[in-house]
Amino acid sequence: MAITPGKVYDMSLNKYFGDVTLPNHDGIASDVLVFLLAGVTMRWKQIVAYYFTGGSVDGSVFTNIIKEIFEKANVLNLNILGITSDMGPSNQAMWRTWGISAGRHTSY
C-alpha cells in the first residue's frame, strides 16, 4: 500500500518517524507491507505484522518474517493452511527461497 513519503517528528516521543522499518533495508518509507492471518471456515482477519518499505524490496527477507509468524501462530494453536501473495518481483524472490517458482511454462 502506498503512503506519502516524508519524515514526521513526534514531540511526545521525541522521535522521528518515516524511515523504512523492513530488516536490511533503509531510506524513507513510501509503502507499507502488511501481513495478516485470516479464517478459512470463519470470517475473521487480523493484522499480525507491518513494515514500512521503500521503492525496492528484497523479498528474501519475507521468509524469516513468515517463519516467525508461523511460530507465533503455532504457540496460539492457530493452524496456518496456506500463504497467499501476488506474484510481484519481491514475492517471487520469497517463493524462490523456498524452492518454489511459477512461470508460463511451469509444470506441476
Q: Where are the domains of the chain?
A: 8-97
Q: What is the pLDDT of residues 36-70, one digit of tens each?
A: 999 999 999 999 999 999 988 888 899 999 999 99
pLDDT in tens, 62-94: 999 999 999 999 999 999 999 988 888 898 899
- Alpha-helix runs per DSSP H in the chain: 61-75, 89-97
Report d(CA 78, CA 49) in Å as an integer.
16
Q: How far is residue 9's CA from residue 17's CA, in Å, rounded to a whole number?
A: 6
State if pTM tops 0.85: no
